Structure 1
Amino acid sequence: MQPSTFAQRIQLIKKWGYQVISLDELSGMHQSKQYGVHQAAITIDDGWAGIEQFMVAELAKHAMPSTLYLSSYYAEKQVPVFNVAVAYLMWSQGGSIELAGDSYLYQLTHKRQLTTQDISSREAELSFEQRQTILQELAQICCVDIQQWQHAGRFRYLDIAALKRLQENLCKIELHTHRHTFPQDDRTTAELEVERNRQWIHEHLGESTHHFCYPSGEYVPAQFDWLQSLNIATATTTHNEIVSPEDHPLELPRIMDSNAVSSLEFEAELTGFMTLLRKLR
C-alpha cells in the first residue's frame, strides 16, 4: 500500500469517529459480547520492512495502537523473502529465463527454459543455502545487484531492532507462524510452527502472544481445537467483513485493505454499508 493511501485511510477512520483500540481490548469485548460504538483494531500481516516507515509511523502520529502478525523465520534470517523475490525477478524477464548448461538452476531442474512455477514448485524441498544460491544466480541473470537489495531492505522483513521500535510505537507483535505455513493435515507440524513463532517473539521481543493470523488466510475449522490447545484467544482470517458477536473467536473476519481498494469502497466497508449489501444478496 502506498503511504499516501494509508494516510487517507487513517483520516477516514477519524472522520467516521472510530476509536482505535488494541486487539486485546477487542478480544475482551468479543468474549463478553459487549461492543462499544465505532471501535476498531488495526492489524498488519507478515512483517515487511517498509511498514515501519509509513504504516506504524503514521499510526504513532495519531497515538493509534496496532498489531503486527509476524512470521519470524525471515525476521531472523534477514534475507529477501524467497518466493516474493523470485516472482519479481522472473516477472522482470517476462516470466521465463534461458539457462546455461553449467548453471546451478539447470543442474537442479534439468531444464533450459525455466518458468516461475518451475522454481516455486520446488521451494519446500530447498534448503536455506540452496535458496540463497538460486537468488544469487537469478539476480545475476537479471542484472540485479542483490547486495543493494539487502542494503535497501527490499523484499525483506523487519529486523529485531526495528521490531522493538514498533513496540515503542504502540504496535503489539503477535503470531503468524515461524515459516508462514500452517498445514491442515499435520497437527504436529502446525503446532510446532506456532510454538517456534511464539518462542522467537518472546525470546527476542519479550512479548506474550495470544493472537494468531492464518498464513494466506488458509485454514479448516478442525484447526480451532489445535489453536485452543495452544491458548490462542483469537485468530483472524482474510474474510472481508466487520466482526460481529456471532463470529467464532478463531475465525474473525477483517476489512481487507490494499491499493486495489478505492477510498469509496473502504468507506463503504468501514460504515457497514457493504455488510448490509452482502446480507441482502
Structure 2
Amino acid sequence: MTRFETANASPIPILVYHQIAAAPPKGAPFRSLYVSPSAFARQMRWLKRLGYQGLSMSALLPYVRGEQVGKVVGITFDDGYENNLIHALPVLQSLGFSSTCYCVSQRLGQTNAWDAALGIAPARLMDAAQLRQWVAGGQEVGVHTRHHVNLTQATPALAKEEIELSKTELSMHVNQGLEHFCYPYGCYHSAHIDMVRQAGFASATTTQRGRVHSGADLMQLPRVPVLRATTLAVFWLKVATRYEDRRSA
C-alpha cells in the first residue's frame, strides 16, 4: 500500500450529481443528469435515517485512507451550477452534511457553454460571491479545470495550465484550501494524473462507476452516479450493495 492508495476496510460510495433542478422536456439531451430537488432531499434524508454521514472530499479522505472508520458517503457535484446552491445547500445544512462542488474557474457566473454543441440548455453557474455562500454554508469547492476541457484533446502545455491555473484562480475567490480535482468528462491519460498530483491535489475523481475499495488510486477515484430516474430503491442498491461495483468494467 502506497501513500497514493486508499486503505478503507469497507467500500465507500462517492455520489456524483450535476443539476439539482426540474428536468427539461422529454427528449432533451442528457435529461438524465437532472435530479429534482424533492428527489435529492429524499435521498439525503434516507442516508441520514440509515446512519450515514454525507461528507465532502476533505472530510472523506481520512476514511478512504483507513485512518477513520464509519458509515460515510462522499457527496460531489460537477460543474458548479447555481441550482446546487439554491436547492441542495439547504438540505445538506439541515442534515449536517458536507459536500464538494467541482467548479470551472473561468466560467463563474456564466453558463455551461461547453454543453452547447450537444444541445443541452444553458444553466447558470455560481459566481464568486455564491461560491463564498457555498463555503460559508459548510461546503467545499473542488477544481474542474479552467474551461471544462477534455484533457485528452489538449496539448500537454494546455492541460497543465488548465489543471494548475484553475486551482490558483478559484483560490482567489474562496478562503479554503483547494485539494480536490475532477477530470472533465472523465477523460484523462496517465500524464494528466501526474499533472494533478504535481499540482498538489490530494484526490481526483473520475466518471468510472463503482464504490471506493481498498487499494484504489487516490488520483483515480470512482464514483456512483445519481440520475433523474434513480428511484430510492435503486439509490439504496447503489450505496449499500455491489450494484455499482459490477458496472465498473
Q: How would you bin the TM-score normalised by the shorter chain?
A: 0.7 to 0.9
Structure 1 runs not aligned, ≥5 long: 90-153
Cα deviations by residue, 1:27-84 (Å, 9 ceiling, x for unpaired) = 23333x3451311121111011111111112101112111111011110xx3333344
Check the 8 A contact 2:210/2:245 in 1, yes or no: no
Q: What is the deviation of 1:193?
A: 0.6
Provide the C-alpha distance between the structure 1 equivalents of 2:150 and 2:245, rounded to a whole number of angstroms.
32
Code of the aligned partner of 1:169: G
1:69-88 → structure 2 map (5 Å cutoff): 69-75=102-108, 78-85=109-116, 87-88=119-120
> Given the superposition, is the C-alpha separation of residues 242 and 73 from structure 1 closer, same or farther in structure 2, using an over 3 Å criterion?
same
Is 1:180–2:144 an aligned residue pair? Answer: no
Is 1:165–2:133 an aligned residue pair? Answer: yes
Q: What is the deviation of 1:174?
A: 1.3
Is 1:22–2:56 an aligned residue pair? Answer: yes
Provide the C-alpha distance between the structure 2 equivalents of 1:187 and 1:27, rounded to a whole number of angstroms.
29
Code of the aligned partner of 1:175: V
Provide the C-alpha distance between the structure 2 equivalents of 1:42 and 1:34, rounded to a whole number of angstroms.
19
Is 1:221–2:163 an aligned residue pair? Answer: no
Provide the C-alpha distance between the structure 1 equivalents of 2:184 and 2:244, rounded to a whole number of angstroms.
24
Query: Pick from 216, 219, 222: which aligns with 1:253?
Result: 222
Provide the C-alpha distance between the structure 1 equivalents of 2:120 and 2:209, rounded to a whole number of angstroms.
27
> Given the superposition, is the C-alpha separation of residues 199 and 267 from structure 1 closer, same or farther in structure 2, using an over 3 Å criterion?
same
Which structure shows the higher helix fraction? 1
> Given the superposition, is the C-alpha separation of residues 227 and 79 from structure 1 closer, same or farther in structure 2, using an over 3 Å criterion?
closer
> Given the superposition, is the C-alpha separation of residues 60 and 217 from structure 1 closer, same or farther in structure 2, using an over 3 Å criterion?
same
Provide the C-alpha distance between the structure 2 equivalents of 1:47 and 1:168, rounded to a whole number of angstroms.
15
1:39-50 → structure 2 map (5 Å cutoff): 39-50=72-83
Provide the C-alpha distance between the structure 2 equivalents of 1:65 and 1:45, rounded to a whole number of angstroms.
15
Provide the C-alpha distance between the structure 2 equivalents of 1:242 and 1:18, rounded to a whole number of angstroms.
15
Provide the C-alpha distance between the structure 2 equivalents of 1:80 and 1:48, rounded to a whole number of angstroms.
8
**Structure 2 residue aligned with 1:96:** none
Code of the aligned partner of 2:139: C
Cα deviations by residue, 1:77-101 (Å, 9 ceiling, x for unpaired) = x333334456257xxxxxxxxxxxx
Check the 8 A contact 2:79/2:103 in 1, yes or no: yes
SS state at 1:246 partner = coil
**Structure 1 residue aligned with 2:92:** 59
SS state at 1:24 partner = helix
| Greater RCO structure (CA 8 Å; 6+ sep) | 2
SS state at 1:53 partner = helix
Provide the C-alpha distance between the structure 2 equivalents of 1:266 and 1:62, rounded to a whole number of angstroms.
18
1:1-281 → structure 2 map (5 Å cutoff): 1-31=35-65, 33-75=66-108, 78-85=109-116, 87-88=119-120, 155-184=123-152, 186-275=155-244
Q: How many residues align?
A: 213
Cα deviations by residue, 1:217-272 (Å, 9 ceiling, x for unpaired) = 11123322111111111100112211111210011011111212222211101112
Code of the aligned partner of 2:158: T
Provide the C-alpha distance between the structure 1 equivalents of 2:204 and 2:98, rounded to a whole number of angstroms.
18
Amino-acid identity (%): 25
Check the 8 A contact 2:203/2:221 in 1, yes or no: yes
Provide the C-alpha distance between the structure 2 equivalents of 1:237 and 1:88, rounded to a whole number of angstroms.
21
SS state at 2:212 partner = coil
